[in-house]
Amino acid sequence: MRFSGKKVLLLGSGGLRIGQAGEFDYSGSQAIKALKEEGIHVVLANPNIATVQTDAHMADTLYLQPLNIEVITQIIKKEKPDGILLGFGGQTALNLGLALEKAGILAEHHVEVLGTQVRSIQQTEDRDLFKQALESIGIHTPRSICVTSVEAALAAAEEIGYPIMMRSGFSLGGLGSGKITNKGELTRRAKECFATVPQILIEEYLLGWKEFEYEIVRDADGNALTICNMENLDPMGIHTGESIVVAPAQTLSNRDHQHLRNMSIAIANHFTIVGECNIQFAVNPENGDYRVIEMNARLSRSSALASKATGYPLAFVAAKLGLGYLLHEIKNSVTQQTCAFFEPALDYVVVKIPRWDTHKLKAAERTIGTEMKSVGEVMSIGRSFPESLQKAVGMLNIGASCLSDYPHAIPDAKREIEFPTDRRLFALYQFFMSGGTVAEAQRLSNINFWFLSHIHAITEVEKRLAAEPLSPELLLHAKRMGFSDRAIGKLTKQSEEDVRMLRLSKQIVPYVKQIDTLAGEFAAQTNYLYLTYHAAEHDIEATPERPILVLGSGPYSIGSSVEFDWCAVNTSRSLRELGKKSILINSNPETVSTDYDESDRLYFEQLTLERVRDIADFEKAAGIIVSVGGQVANNLALPLAKTGYQLLGTSAQSIDNAEDREKFSALLNQLNIDQPAWQRVTSLENAKQFAEMIGYPVLIRPSYILSGSAMNVAYDERSLEQYLLEASLVSSEHPVVISKFILDAKELEVDGVADRGKIIIDAIAEHVENAGIHSGDATLVIPPQRLYLETIRKTKKITSQIVEALKITGPFNIQFIAKNNFIQVIECNLRASRSFPFVSKVTGYNFINIATRAMLGQHKPMIYETLELDYVAVKVPQFSYHRLKGANPVANVEMASTGEVACLGENLYEAYLRAWLATEQALPEKRILVSIADVHKAKLLPYLLQLEEQGWVFYSTSGTHAFLSKNGIGSYFVHKASEKSEPNIQTLIAQRKAELIINLPTANGINTLTDGYMIRRMAVDHHIPLITNLQIAQIMLQCLIDFKGKTPETVLSWQEYIQRHVPYQQSIRMIA
């Protein structure tokens, strides 16, 4: 029956984290478009301010609010929605929907669940119910026992026999799952799991079985079809989010495919799915036996991949099905020729490779398994597996343009094949290059022979390139096998440009092919494109009106996330608004920018010099915008300009003047603008001498990243030696920049847009934490709350000077440190920053829209007010430390967060408290563990005294306990973990007696594996909120004092805040 309501509540997924990333911005944005097409008023709840779906023109009403039952209940009471969608916000939305149903909120307020019903969701999420349901229809699952206690888990493992697989219910990205080989390991892991979930499944371990995934859509009448099947290159034991994935499946016989397809549809029918679901199968390669591993009755990461791989708009169709449409009633919006009731056909091969950043987090384990650790992924499209695989490697932004180009030697490749790490693919390649056989690799890895033989074949081509003259035939063969011009140049001892010129002279060029979901069966023109060397003609002609290329940001990583996708999408939309044809290049299937309808043409391609030039040449581009895709796109500015391409906005020379430390430093000196003292050093002795001269502490910044080594702060000569010698960082070939690190300084940054050296608009954001925390991990506040007016005035003046000197046109970001009104410039980026969505949505002015107009010379003069707001916005980082075993969970100069959320409030404390809750951290009720270094104790004392008056209970370690006692504050003493006496901090945390842990180490103690590290790690592993920064501790404790441990009562929409500052219709126009 068709939904007749007028208002629908859509639950988002919150901040990006490992296991739940930008794919839900894509699915939520598609759902909003589908609902609005029906004239439905959309209410969106999502605190992730960096997303496209939280733009003003998307949902009719937006709540940048925490996703918890208390807040959503308030929104339901206020908005009175007729329906709710639970399947477009990942596990967060699904679990929240189940909680609302269980609490009776949905029934009480007559809110209809659209799409798959709650009972079906419960059956698929509850491991035991799911197993029973499948067995009732004769479908096999792994032999398993569902348990709710550690004792029951141990008994189940004994019955099944080690090794076993442990899986947790109601969880995300394999959290809590893993292969367990003994009783002690199971006891430890089960305790960690039960801290966050009510049940776990102990099941047989399917060693060496292949893994396949099927995406299914089904309507309310029971019409169902499979959209895509995908095969994991890695065998069972590696989470699908950690595995290389290939679509369509390559090693599945037609008989087995039809069997799995029929089972998928039978399962969807049994659970009465309405919308989309995906099902994971394990298949025994020896005899074809199968097991159903799990099912997601919602849009997932795999759904986004399947949608982008096939061109089938899964999320859009799922939303329409939720409204009661039948499959044959929905038009295929990609082809405009067919209905949605068809199974896509693929005449190409898609490869997804995860992107990991474990090297950025000190002490984090690099091994991969059943729990997700990857922070992003890329998707490539080609006409053969080797071509597609090599293209995907070049998309990862890890310094490799293809497999042969990987810059790091792997000392024990054999071990990393057998015990997989994030470098397993490169280990395989190096193993084959050194003479290893496919049979040996198969024995070590259990990866299918078909995949290994193709990887081996790529190494054979590399050997030919190194040994033979580069004939046109060999060059074409190498390109069809996915080798980049750069790699071919290295192997044949010539430059990348020489290889390109040879290619073009022999008419060896990639051909443009379109994805039409039909494999050419029907005539259909689409704008969804890729390039391949396995062709002889283009599917399309160049865009008649010379278009503008917009470079996206590639895979999500620590430091580059959904905020840059927001920038790319808004640039493309702004170009359309200005009557220009836009072409977007990106490689990330999780993004909105890779939707078929966000640009005039979409190239799912590499963001490399070679590929951008190929596309620009074919399309005869009028210009290229490099300033909205983060550092990846910005790095192409100089090489593109040098090879004759027109950049829109700030010149490549100005970008280089800002990026090159020596050139920028000289510019600041010329302008009489202060900066921290710095020097480029080429030896440890140089470093010591300079550090001694300027005084410790000093910031160490390598000139390149070696095996993940990055910035560090040295507080004395010993730590300076440690950082430089252990990492072998400093040499004449690789100098290191040493700069003065300013203690107890405020950090602030200016985001802005300029036109030919004149500022059009800017916004100042204040960091809550003192300088020393990476800007991506800092808590940002707009408007500034604790800056002197003189500091703001000086900051604006310096910004104007720099903008004028660099002749900036377009977006920019400048970072400052301030101490006692003494302002120094840290760095300047002539591109959009990660805080552009934040400043745009908080002020009501779309900075990217303004920047696009400026870059096209179509800026309209206006007066923009960004300081005088009568509300406060706070942006806080979202960390994923609990996913990264061993990582030291403390913020410093190297970025570690995977996402962000932001909330608005009447004052700093209300906004911060909402943002804290929006990162899915619970508020403590009455019990706080405090373990702080001497230097911080007095600064927290006033807050602790007030909390004690309100009846709060404190636990403390020896030094802190003595300090509190001396100052009249009672606390329960606990021994440190290393002291092995009771009461012990380990027991306290394991029993969850502390509801908040404040551990403030000394600045030079954050990198050592101390008792403090053990406290922090245990807090994260047991999902207890943790604070490691003095300023954050002060602001949070003040929140607890002001709100007495309760959630703020009033819940306002974004529109209710913004219309106070910008008249609402104007804000819609500016943000849209």
CATH number at residue 194: 3.30.1490.20
Q: What share of the chain is helix, strand, coil (3-state, %, to 5)?
A: 40, 20, 40
Q: What is the pLDDT of residue 72?
A: 98
Residue 114 lies in a domain: yes
Q: What is the pLDDT of residue 276?
A: 96
Residue 288 lies in a domain: no
Question: Do 732 and 751 belong together in one domain?
Answer: no
Amino acid, res. 1017 = R
- Domain CATH code at residue 46: 3.40.50.20
The CA distance from 488 to 495, in Å, is 9
Residue 1014 lies in a domain: yes
Question: Do 983 and 1001 belong together in one domain?
Answer: yes
Give the containing element (helix H, strand E) for 179.
Answer: strand 178-180
Output the DSSP codes for 693-755. Answer: HH-S-EEEEESS-STT---EEE-SHHHHHHHHHHTT---SSS-EEEEEPPTT-EEEEEEEEEE
Q: At 699, give phi and psi (nearest 5°).
A: -100, 130
Give the containing element (helix H, strand E) for 260.
Answer: helix 254-270
Question: Do 858 and 929 belong together in one domain?
Answer: no
Question: Do 473 and 407 belong together in one domain?
Answer: yes
Tell me the residue range of the domain where 97 lies. Answer: 7-122
Q: Are 190 and 1022 in contact (CB under 8 A)?
A: no
Q: Give the domain-ending residue among 469, 490, 508.
A: 508
Torsion 477-482-484-488 (CA) sign: negative
Could you tell me how far CA 1068 lies from the centroid of its own chain? Answer: 27
Q: Report how many domains make up the chain.
A: 7
Q: At 502, give phi and psi (nearest 5°).
A: -65, -45
Residue 565 lies in a domain: yes
The CA distance from 396 to 379, in Å, is 10
Question: Do 488 and 529 belong together in one domain?
Answer: no
**Of 937, 932, 941, nearest in space to 1027 by CA:** 932
Q: Are 22 and 32 in contact (CB under 8 A)?
A: no
Residue 261 lies in a domain: no
Q: What is the pLDDT of residue 703?
A: 59
Question: Do 731 and 756 belong together in one domain?
Answer: no
What Cα–Cα distance (Å) separates residue 123 from each residue in 145, 169, 267, 599, 778? 16, 11, 12, 40, 41
Question: Do 173 and 105 belong together in one domain?
Answer: no
**Of 119, 107, 199, nearest in space to 153 by CA:** 199
pLDDT below 50 — which residues of the chain?
A: 704-709, 1007, 1064-1065, 1067-1069, 1072
Residue 455 lies in a domain: yes
Q: Give the domain-ending residue among 695, 716, 740.
A: 740
- Domain CATH code at residue 401: 1.10.1030.10
999 conformational bin, left if phi > 0, alpha if psi -120 to 50, beta if neither: beta
Question: Do 730 and 756 belong together in one domain?
Answer: no
Residue 221 lies in a domain: no
Q: What is the pLDDT of residue 170?
A: 58
Per-position b or e across 504-515, b if 16+ CB within 10 A of its CB: eeeebbbbbbbb
Question: Do 362 and 477 belong together in one domain?
Answer: yes
Question: Do 754 and 723 belong together in one domain?
Answer: no
Q: What are the tens digits of pLDDT across the range 95-132?
A: 999 999 999 999 999 999 999 999 999 999 888 899 99
Q: What is the pLDDT of residue 467?
A: 97
Residues 6+ apart with CB under 8 A from 161: 204
Residues 6+ apart with CB under 8 A from 142: 165, 203, 204, 206, 282, 291, 293
Taking CA 568 as the corner, what is the angle to CA 566 and CA 574, rounded to the nearest 5 degrees? Answer: 100
Question: Do 811 and 728 belong together in one domain?
Answer: no
Residue 890 lies in a domain: no
Question: Do 422 and 476 belong together in one domain?
Answer: yes
Q: Give the domain-ending residue among 740, 770, 786.
A: 740
